[in-house]
Structure 1
Amino acid sequence: MSTSESDEGARYRRTVTVSGRRTSISIETVVWDGLEDISNREELTLAEILTLIDQRRLGSSLASAVRVFVLFYFRTIADIAQPLIRAANKPSAAHDSDDSHVPLTPPNTLPGLLDKVLERFATTRAELTTRGRQDH
Protein backbone atom coordinates (compact mmCIF):
# COMPACT_ATOMS: atom_id res chain seq x y z
CA MET A 1 0.00 0.00 0.00
CA SER A 2 1.54 3.30 -1.02
CA THR A 3 0.92 6.68 0.55
CA SER A 4 0.18 9.64 -1.67
CA GLU A 5 1.33 13.15 -0.80
CA SER A 6 -2.29 14.16 -0.12
CA ASP A 7 -2.67 11.59 2.66
CA GLU A 8 -2.44 12.90 6.21
CA GLY A 9 0.10 10.20 7.02
CA ALA A 10 2.43 11.17 4.18
CA ARG A 11 5.98 11.78 5.36
CA TYR A 12 8.21 14.58 4.29
CA ARG A 13 11.99 14.50 4.71
CA ARG A 14 13.85 17.71 5.55
CA THR A 15 17.45 18.51 6.27
CA VAL A 16 17.60 20.65 9.41
CA THR A 17 20.11 21.91 11.95
CA VAL A 18 19.77 20.35 15.39
CA SER A 19 22.17 21.13 18.23
CA GLY A 20 24.52 22.73 15.71
CA ARG A 21 24.69 19.75 13.34
CA ARG A 22 22.93 19.06 10.06
CA THR A 23 20.64 16.04 10.02
CA SER A 24 17.68 14.73 8.10
CA ILE A 25 14.28 14.03 9.65
CA SER A 26 11.35 12.27 8.03
CA ILE A 27 8.02 12.98 9.72
CA GLU A 28 4.42 13.35 8.66
CA THR A 29 3.45 16.55 6.89
CA VAL A 30 0.89 17.40 9.58
CA VAL A 31 3.62 17.10 12.24
CA TRP A 32 5.86 19.48 10.26
CA ASP A 33 2.91 21.88 10.07
CA GLY A 34 2.41 21.65 13.83
CA LEU A 35 6.12 22.19 14.45
CA GLU A 36 6.11 25.27 12.24
CA ASP A 37 3.04 26.59 14.11
CA ILE A 38 4.90 26.11 17.40
CA SER A 39 7.97 27.85 15.99
CA ASN A 40 5.87 30.83 14.93
CA ARG A 41 3.93 30.98 18.22
CA GLU A 42 7.09 30.83 20.32
CA GLU A 43 9.03 33.16 17.99
CA LEU A 44 11.87 30.66 17.73
CA THR A 45 13.49 29.17 14.66
CA LEU A 46 12.80 25.59 13.69
CA ALA A 47 16.44 24.80 14.56
CA GLU A 48 15.97 26.26 18.05
CA ILE A 49 12.80 24.23 18.69
CA LEU A 50 14.42 21.05 17.36
CA THR A 51 17.48 21.63 19.55
CA LEU A 52 15.28 22.03 22.64
CA ILE A 53 13.52 18.76 21.79
CA ASP A 54 16.82 17.01 21.05
CA GLN A 55 18.27 18.06 24.42
CA ARG A 56 15.35 16.44 26.26
CA ARG A 57 14.77 13.26 24.31
CA LEU A 58 15.65 10.00 25.96
CA GLY A 59 16.79 7.17 23.78
CA SER A 60 14.19 7.67 21.09
CA SER A 61 14.73 8.85 17.57
CA LEU A 62 14.52 12.56 16.97
CA ALA A 63 11.53 12.03 14.66
CA SER A 64 9.68 10.17 17.41
CA ALA A 65 10.58 12.84 19.98
CA VAL A 66 9.28 15.56 17.63
CA ARG A 67 5.95 13.76 17.19
CA VAL A 68 5.52 13.39 20.96
CA PHE A 69 6.57 17.01 21.62
CA VAL A 70 4.07 18.41 19.10
CA LEU A 71 1.32 16.35 20.74
CA PHE A 72 2.37 17.56 24.21
CA TYR A 73 2.44 21.18 23.05
CA PHE A 74 -1.10 21.21 21.73
CA ARG A 75 -2.42 19.09 24.62
CA THR A 76 -0.93 21.64 27.02
CA ILE A 77 -2.75 24.44 25.19
CA ALA A 78 -5.97 22.44 25.45
CA ASP A 79 -5.40 21.80 29.17
CA ILE A 80 -4.86 25.52 29.81
CA ALA A 81 -7.76 26.62 27.61
CA GLN A 82 -10.34 24.14 28.94
CA PRO A 83 -11.14 26.00 32.20
CA LEU A 84 -11.36 29.27 30.27
CA ILE A 85 -13.77 27.77 27.78
CA ARG A 86 -15.89 26.23 30.58
CA ALA A 87 -15.99 29.59 32.39
CA ALA A 88 -16.93 31.40 29.19
CA ASN A 89 -19.77 28.95 28.52
CA LYS A 90 -21.07 28.92 32.10
CA PRO A 91 -24.37 30.80 32.56
CA SER A 92 -23.80 34.02 34.42
CA ALA A 93 -26.13 35.93 36.75
CA ALA A 94 -25.12 39.14 35.03
CA HIS A 95 -25.82 38.38 31.37
CA ASP A 96 -25.92 42.03 30.36
CA SER A 97 -22.67 43.05 32.00
CA ASP A 98 -19.59 43.37 29.81
CA ASP A 99 -17.63 41.80 32.69
CA SER A 100 -19.67 38.58 32.63
CA HIS A 101 -17.54 36.82 30.03
CA VAL A 102 -14.05 35.43 30.42
CA PRO A 103 -11.78 36.67 27.64
CA LEU A 104 -10.02 33.79 25.93
CA THR A 105 -6.29 34.34 25.67
CA PRO A 106 -4.88 33.41 22.27
CA PRO A 107 -2.55 30.39 22.62
CA ASN A 108 0.47 32.33 21.37
CA THR A 109 0.26 34.72 24.33
CA LEU A 110 0.03 32.12 27.09
CA PRO A 111 2.83 32.89 29.55
CA GLY A 112 5.58 30.32 29.87
CA LEU A 113 3.90 27.75 27.65
CA LEU A 114 7.07 26.44 26.03
CA ASP A 115 8.78 25.93 29.38
CA LYS A 116 5.74 24.04 30.71
CA VAL A 117 5.60 21.83 27.63
CA LEU A 118 9.33 21.09 27.69
CA GLU A 119 9.14 20.20 31.39
CA ARG A 120 6.10 17.97 30.84
CA PHE A 121 7.77 16.39 27.79
CA ALA A 122 11.01 15.59 29.66
CA THR A 123 9.27 14.34 32.81
CA THR A 124 6.88 12.06 30.95
CA ARG A 125 9.60 10.67 28.70
CA ALA A 126 11.73 9.94 31.77
CA GLU A 127 8.81 8.23 33.53
CA LEU A 128 8.06 6.11 30.45
CA THR A 129 11.71 5.12 30.12
CA THR A 130 11.90 4.15 33.80
CA ARG A 131 8.65 2.20 33.54
CA GLY A 132 9.93 0.41 30.42
CA ARG A 133 13.10 -0.66 32.22
CA GLN A 134 11.10 -1.99 35.17
CA ASP A 135 8.94 -4.08 32.85
CA HIS A 136 11.98 -5.91 31.47
Structure 2
Amino acid sequence: MPVPYSPPVKRSITIAGHQTSVSLEPVFWSALEEAARDAGLPLSALVAQIDAERIAAPVPSNLASAIRVWLFARASR
Protein backbone atom coordinates (compact mmCIF):
# COMPACT_ATOMS: atom_id res chain seq x y z
CA MET A 1 0.00 0.00 0.00
CA PRO A 2 1.42 3.41 -0.91
CA VAL A 3 2.11 5.96 1.79
CA PRO A 4 -1.16 7.92 2.14
CA TYR A 5 0.49 11.35 2.28
CA SER A 6 2.61 11.15 -0.85
CA PRO A 7 2.54 13.99 -3.39
CA PRO A 8 0.62 13.55 -6.66
CA VAL A 9 2.16 11.51 -9.46
CA LYS A 10 1.48 12.55 -13.06
CA ARG A 11 0.69 9.83 -15.61
CA SER A 12 -0.31 9.98 -19.26
CA ILE A 13 -3.48 8.15 -20.28
CA THR A 14 -5.06 7.80 -23.72
CA ILE A 15 -8.74 8.76 -23.75
CA ALA A 16 -10.73 8.72 -27.00
CA GLY A 17 -7.53 8.47 -28.98
CA HIS A 18 -5.68 11.39 -27.40
CA GLN A 19 -3.13 11.57 -24.60
CA THR A 20 -3.95 13.43 -21.42
CA SER A 21 -2.04 13.79 -18.18
CA VAL A 22 -3.63 13.11 -14.82
CA SER A 23 -2.03 13.87 -11.45
CA LEU A 24 -3.21 11.73 -8.53
CA GLU A 25 -1.71 10.69 -5.25
CA PRO A 26 -0.35 7.11 -5.29
CA VAL A 27 -3.16 5.86 -3.03
CA PHE A 28 -5.68 7.00 -5.68
CA TRP A 29 -3.67 5.39 -8.50
CA SER A 30 -3.70 2.12 -6.55
CA ALA A 31 -7.45 2.33 -5.92
CA LEU A 32 -8.10 3.17 -9.58
CA GLU A 33 -5.98 0.22 -10.77
CA GLU A 34 -7.90 -2.08 -8.40
CA ALA A 35 -11.24 -0.75 -9.68
CA ALA A 36 -10.14 -1.35 -13.28
CA ARG A 37 -9.08 -4.93 -12.42
CA ASP A 38 -12.40 -5.54 -10.63
CA ALA A 39 -14.29 -4.28 -13.69
CA GLY A 40 -12.12 -6.29 -16.09
CA LEU A 41 -11.13 -3.11 -17.92
CA PRO A 42 -7.87 -1.51 -18.92
CA LEU A 43 -7.10 1.52 -16.77
CA SER A 44 -7.57 3.85 -19.74
CA ALA A 45 -11.06 2.45 -20.43
CA LEU A 46 -12.17 3.03 -16.84
CA VAL A 47 -10.77 6.56 -16.89
CA ALA A 48 -12.62 7.15 -20.19
CA GLN A 49 -15.89 6.07 -18.53
CA ILE A 50 -15.28 8.40 -15.59
CA ASP A 51 -14.40 11.19 -18.02
CA ALA A 52 -17.64 10.69 -19.95
CA GLU A 53 -19.66 10.89 -16.70
CA ARG A 54 -17.69 14.01 -15.71
CA ILE A 55 -18.35 15.76 -19.03
CA ALA A 56 -22.09 14.99 -18.77
CA ALA A 57 -22.32 16.62 -15.31
CA PRO A 58 -24.10 19.99 -15.08
CA VAL A 59 -20.87 21.62 -13.85
CA PRO A 60 -17.95 19.39 -14.87
CA SER A 61 -14.93 19.26 -12.57
CA ASN A 62 -11.40 18.54 -13.72
CA LEU A 63 -10.59 14.90 -14.48
CA ALA A 64 -8.41 14.27 -11.41
CA SER A 65 -11.16 15.56 -9.11
CA ALA A 66 -13.75 13.45 -10.93
CA ILE A 67 -11.60 10.34 -10.45
CA ARG A 68 -11.19 11.03 -6.73
CA VAL A 69 -14.95 11.57 -6.28
CA TRP A 70 -15.75 8.44 -8.32
CA LEU A 71 -13.38 6.39 -6.16
CA PHE A 72 -14.87 7.83 -2.97
CA ALA A 73 -18.39 6.95 -4.17
CA ARG A 74 -17.21 3.43 -5.05
CA ALA A 75 -15.67 2.97 -1.60
CA SER A 76 -18.86 4.24 0.06
CA ARG A 77 -21.03 1.53 -1.55
When normalised by structure 1's length, the TM-score is 0.49
1:37 maps to what in 2? Answer: 34
Deviation at 1:25, TM superposition (A): 0.4
Larger Rg: 1
Over aligned residues, Cα RMSD in angstroms?
A: 1.6
Measured at CA, do residues 7 and 37 of structure 1 come closer, stay the same or move farther in structure 2, by a change above 3 Å?
Answer: closer
Provide the aligned length of Structure 1 versus Structure 2.
Answer: 72
Structure 1 unmatched runs, 5+ = 77-136
More helix by share: 1
Cα distance in 1 between the residues matched to 2:42 and 2:10:
18
Cα distance in 2 between the residues matched to 1:33 and 1:56:
21
Residue 26 of structure 1, aligned match among 17, 23, 39: 23
- Is 1:49 the counterpart of 2:46? The answer is yes
Q: Which has the higher contact order (CA 8 A, sep 6+)?
A: 2
When normalised by structure 2's length, the TM-score is 0.84
Runs of 4+ off more than 4 Å = none
More strand by share: 2
Which structure 2 residues correspond to residues 80-99 of structure 1 after superposition, within 5 A? Answer: none
Q: Deviations over 1:16-50 (max 9, x none)?
A: 11232110000111000000000111110001100
1:65 maps to what in 2? Answer: 66
Give the fraction of aligned pairs with identical amino acids, expressed as a percent: 32
